[in-house]
Amino acid sequence: MSNFTRELVHLGKIVEEEMVKFLPKKNEFPPQLFEAMHYSTLSGGKRLRPIMVMKAAELFGMSYENVMPTACGIEMIHTYSLIHDDLPVMDNDDFRRGKPTCHKVYGEALALLAGDALLTHAFATIAMNSKIIGISLKAVLDVIEKVSLAAGGYGMIGGQVIDIETSGKNIDRDTLYYISNHKTGYLIKISLWSGARLAGASKEDLEIIELFGEKIGLAFQIVDDMLDEKGDENTLGKPVGSDIKNLKNTFVSMYGNIGCVKIINELSLEAKKLISHFKNSDFFIQLTDFIVNRSY
């Protein structure tokens, strides 16, 4: 195991431990709701988004412990989106991270509400960053604003709507890029931006790291498209072929696997060039390689 992989695993475990602290207690009332929230949030995963928040803060000289509320809040938003994506009305998937999806365990209504609860609880969690000494209140407000936009109609949900509306239809390149940049990429780039903003990064540096996030976020989605077509279900922990089943437009359907590899390599080079602007950027160089070379 490489040093990078060890650090990724170590930070992922820290996120798991911290998530338990920020989530409602399972035995609080109503317990069935909070149990469903715990089930989906703590069922594994790479924890890339919260780790990006943590490492971006470190890049600008702040200890990652100081940004844990925001890191965990963003992971709650990501988990809510997965719960809703898996519902029969959306992608209708039975497994996520190797386990039955939330609605398969708790029913569709409770899964829907668990997702809603995670989304709203996420912002209460992010707001807790205002209580950390050394964090600017203005920075916390800026993060709440940007994360709200990233998660809503201008970001993730907007991308999902266009994705659904264009399923089974021919679309142009710009529409495909819009879907991918918003549905997946927006939350990734805002994770990086949020960690940097809380750490007091300059406006110029925030623009650079946000653009870096845009590049790796798009690469992440293209790799996802490829894995959905040719990945191994046991390795991925979820069914493959969901995009084909749901008649989704993907980078594979538009460019083919060879074209996808070419775009990914270009994005990787551009991302590394951007992040190399900063000292101590080795983690993010390796993160880029991890994203473009992942098989799960």
pTM tops 0.75: yes
The answer to whether 37 touches 80, Cβ cutoff 8 Å, is no
Minimal CA–CA distance to 64: which of 126, 2, 14? 14
Q: What are the two backbone dihedrals, phi and then psi, of residue 95, each rounded to the nearest 5 degrees?
A: -130, 145
Tens-place pLDDT, residues 198-212: 999 999 999 999 999
Q: Domain spans of the chain?
A: 3-293
Residue 257's pLDDT band (cuts 50, 70, 90):
very high
The answer to whether 235 touches 243, Cβ cutoff 8 Å, is no
Tens-place pLDDT, residues 96-122: 888 999 999 999 999 999 999 999 999
Please give the pLDDT value at position 228. Answer: 85
Q: Which residue carries 């880029």 as its tokens?
A: 288
**Which residues, at least 6 apart from 4, have a Cβ–Cβ distance to it below 8 Å?**
283, 286, 287, 290
Average pLDDT over residues 143-155: 97
**Residue 133, class by beta-carbon neighbours within 10 Å (0-12 exposed, 13-18 middle, 19+ buried)?**
exposed
The answer to whether 119 touches 156, Cβ cutoff 8 Å, is no
Distance CA 23, CA 95 (A): 23
Cα angle 51-57-63, degrees, rounded to a multiple of 5: 95
Architecture of domain 3-293: Orthogonal Bundle (1.10)
